[in-house]
Amino acid sequence: MYLLEAKNISAGYGKLQILFNIDFFVNDKELVVIIGPNGSGKSTFLKTLFGLTKIYSGNIIFRGINITRLKPYERARIGLAYLPQTNNSFENLTVKENLLMSMYGISEDIAEKRLEEILLFLPKIKDFMNRKVKTLSGGERQMVAMAMALIRQPNLIMLDEPTAALAPKLALEFLNKIVELKELYGMSVVLVEQNAKKALEIGDRAYVFVAGKSIFSGKTEELLRDKHLMQTYLGLS
Amino acid sequence: MFEVFVDALAYSDVLILLSIGITLTYMTVKVPNFTHGDYASLGAYIAFTINLFYGIHPFLSIPIVFILAGLLSFIFYLFIFRPLSERGANLVTLMVTSIALELILRSLINIYADIMSLKTKIPIFRGFIFQDYLINIGIFLLPFSTIVATVTAVLIVSLLYLFLNKTKFGIAMRASIENPDLAKVLGINVDLVYSISWFIAGGLAGIVGVFIPYRITANPQVGWDLLLRGFAASVLGGLSSIYGAIIGGAVIGFAEIVGIYLLSQPPINLPIAYRPSIPYLTLIITLLIIPKGITGIDFSKIKRKIVGGRNGNN
Ligand SMILES: Nc1ncnc2c1ncn2[C@@H]1O[C@H](COP(=O)(O)OP(=O)(O)OP(=O)(O)O)[C@@H](O)[C@H]1O
Ligand SMILES: [Mg+2]
């Protein structure tokens, strides 16, 4: 059984359909990469998995539960996490309050433990715990957002371009950390990345989205070998 | 002049409680809610009825008024505004809906007042006041209702502050207002948070109704008459922060009472009849100077300017 399976998903915003019949799955402890041109529907797909868009048809099964009609906050509470591409922290709240919010519904003592663990993993955050997010730099914010998505130690985390705001060196460091985390917590990761090459190197399987359709799914090595796909859609050779 | 100040204080208390609620409902669902004034009318009638039949002092009915008005606001959110908003209704649709609800609610209160005055043979159901008395505090003689209103307003504002900053649910309320989608993603039940916001907003407006009959004759449209001032206070406050609403309420309240007092004196001798225009003039003038309202002022920038200016002189 898959950890998460999306079957024949068509979804969009209101009447505006963006995604067309997408089939998608994630295995336990797997890092799945989604790549594709701008506007191809990668973010929309992650939002759909989290219940933030309108689903016209299809089903989403997570850990054996049909979550297609679950509310987003209910999905969060059964082990699904998501780091949005934009607006991924509360600007007017302090970093501490942001972290507190990302553990909403978790009991005090476990929350305390989780906070300690995430600060071990991303110790730089300690330096700005009591500052409002709006006073932080882009990179610092991204670090906070990352911590927020990870703090619950979810079974599956979906990261939408987590390295976009980071300096190249830090971006690589970040991607390596994601792999480390995956091993450490034994969780699965869905990663949307602009840095396709690096993402494909660390990933197990990949999907290529073009114009709201999934035109490739398979092992990352397979995709890396497919010169035609790499050139036409990803500008890589 | 002292009486004028006390009068302005009492009036501001009422406007502050009203505009906190208007701002809160606007921040959650982005609707300028026209029913908000009627919660105050409802509050006034509940307090009056309880007082009439059970002899309970209006101030003691504040908790029940808070709960009933809050429930009504909560029901409107749950069954009308939330479903509409989820279906993508725009601001105009939501606003017109609230105007329709307002008309219904006001008619119902009118009907209630008519039925009750027929049944009880008490004509004052269509216009009543509560008996106030003066209390001696040191050298000051203060109306009891003003003291209670001020204490209530201060208490509520302090409690709200603690709630929004020190409790997990309060922080979740700020988070859900700022970015509802992210809040949902993190496991916050935004619907529940918004429902509670609407409950609090309606409840506070209900409390306003308990204080109104101490200052003016209350009738079924007393809340409606106050509503536009509540809007003025909220807009002045920027419609984006509860603290803005508090300042807005105080500014509008004092501007109207102190303003008409000063303007009606020589040499201007403005007729008192112009009084209702003062809140809106205040609003327009303030917005011309600070278009985003009070919370739009960038205080840190002003501070930098002052500090920078000093450095320049050195
Ligand atoms: N909230 C929205 N309402 C309506 N249309 C939207 C919304 N968000 C995105 N879209 C549209 O959906 C399409 C897919 O956008 P999406 O953000 O999913 O692309 P993406 O693959 O993540 O692109 P990028 O690489 O630039 O992040 C685009 O045409 C976009 O304009
Ligand atoms: Mg995107």
Measured CB to CB, residues of chain A less than 8 Å from chain B are 14, 50-52, 71-73, 76-77, 81-82, 84, 87-93, 97, 100-102, 104-105, 148, 152
Distance CA B211, CA B129 (A): 10
Interface mutation target, options A102, A131, A146, chain B, most CBs of B under 10 Å: A102
Q: What is the pLDDT of residue B314?
A: 40
End position of a domain, from candidates A153, A172, A201: A153
Instruction: Give the residue, out of A44, A161, A190, with the most ligand 1 atoms within 8 A of its beta carbon, to mutate for a pocket test.
Output: A44
State the Cα–Cα distance between residues B153 and B160, nearest whole angstrom: 10
Are both A13 and A73 inside the same structural domain? Answer: yes
For residue A224, the model assigns a pLDDT of 87
Domain shared by A59 and A16, yes or no: yes
CB atoms within 10 A of CB B277: 13
Q: For chain B, what is the domain count?
A: 1
Question: Hey, are the CB atoms on A90 and B184 less than 8 Å from each other?
Answer: no
Q: Give the end of a domain, one of A153, A168, A198.
A: A153
Among A103, A135, A153, which residue terminates a domain? A153
d(CA A16, ligand 1 centre) in Å? 11
Residue A95 and residue A178 share a domain: no
Q: Is A217 within a domain? A: yes
A213 and A148 in a single domain? The answer is: no
pLDDT in tens, B196-229: 999 999 999 999 999 999 999 999 999 999 998 9
Q: Are residues A58 and A173 in the same domain?
A: yes
Tell me what pLDDT residue B309 has.
55
Question: Which residues, at least 6 apart from A104, have a Cβ–Cβ distance to it below 8 Å?
Answer: B168, B172, B186, B187, B188
The distance of A127 to chain B (nearest Cα, Å) reads 21
DSSP A11-37: EEETTEEEEEEEEEEE-TT-EEEEE--
Judgement on whether residues A149 and A167 belong to the same structural domain of the protein: no
Residue B76 structural domain: 2-313
- Which residue range forms the structural domain that includes residue A29? 4-79+154-234
Q: Whose CA is nearest to atom 1 of ligand 1?
A: A13
Q: Are residues A206 and A227 in the same domain?
A: yes
pLDDT less than 50: residues of chain B: 312-314
- Identify the pLDDT of residue B306: 74
Q: What letter represents residue A221's amino acid?
A: E
- What percentage of chain A has pLDDT greater than the value 70? 98
The Cα-based distances of B194 to B5, B173, B245 in angstroms read 36, 7, 18
Q: Are residues A212 and A169 located together in one domain of the fold?
A: yes
Nearest CA in chain B to A148: B186
Residue A29 within a domain: yes
pLDDT at B312: 43
Taking residues A165-180, report their average pLDDT. 84
Ligand 1 cavity residues, CB under 6 Å: A 13, 16, 18, 36, 38-44, 85
pLDDT of residue A169: 85
The answer to whether residue A85 sits within a structural domain is no
- The answer as to whether A182 is a domain residue is yes
pLDDT for B308 equals 66
Mean pLDDT for the stretch of residues A109-114: 92
Query: Model-level pTM?
Result: 0.89
Same domain, yes or no: A159 and A197: yes
Work out the minimum CA distance from A229 to partner chain B, whole angstroms: 33
**A197 alpha carbon – ligand 2 mean position (Å):** 17
Nearest to A60 by CA among A158, A197, A176: A158
* A86 occurs within a structural domain: no
Distance (Å, whole) CA B80 – CA B97: 9
Pocket mutation for ligand 1, best pick of A43, A160, A192, A234 (most atoms within 8 Å of C-beta):
A43
Q: Is A76–B178 a contact, with Cβ atoms under 8 angstroms apart?
A: no
In contact, A19 and A45? CB cutoff 8 Å: yes
The partner residue sitting opposite B188, judged by closest CB among A73, A91, A97, is A73
> Any CB–CB contact under 8 A between B158 and chain A?
no
Those of residues 84-103 in B touching chain A at CB distance below 8 A are 88
Chain A residue with the nearest C-alpha to that of B179: A90
pLDDT in tens, A45-96: 999 999 999 999 999 999 999 999 999 999 999 999 999 999 999 999 999 9
Please check whether residue A10 lies inside any domain of the structure. yes
- Predicted local confidence at residue B298, as pLDDT: 72
**Lowest-confidence pick of A7-16, A172-181, B48-57, B62-71:** A172-181
Residue A68 within a domain: yes
User: B188–A104: do the CB atoms touch at under 8 Å?
Assistant: yes
Same-domain pairing of A111 and A46: no
| A58 and A121 assigned to the same domain | no
Phi-psi region of B81 (alpha: psi -120 to 50; beta: other; left: phi over 0): alpha
Task: Provide the 8-state DSSP code for B78.
Answer: I
What is the tens place of the pLDDT at every residue in A126-167? 999 999 999 999 889 999 999 999 998 899 999 999 988 788
Q: Total domain count for chain A? A: 2
Q: Are residues A164 and A149 in the same domain?
A: no
Q: Find, among A105, A198, A97, A192, the residue nearest to A148 by Cα.
A: A97
Query: Which pLDDT score is estimated for B123?
Result: 82
Strands (E), chain B: 134-137, 140-143
Alpha carbons B28 and B198: distance in angstroms, whole number: 8
Q: Determine, for residues A14 and B178 on separate chains, whether the beta-carbon distance falls below 8 Å.
A: no
Taking CB atoms and an 8 Å cutoff, what residues of chain A touch B181?
52, 72, 84, 87
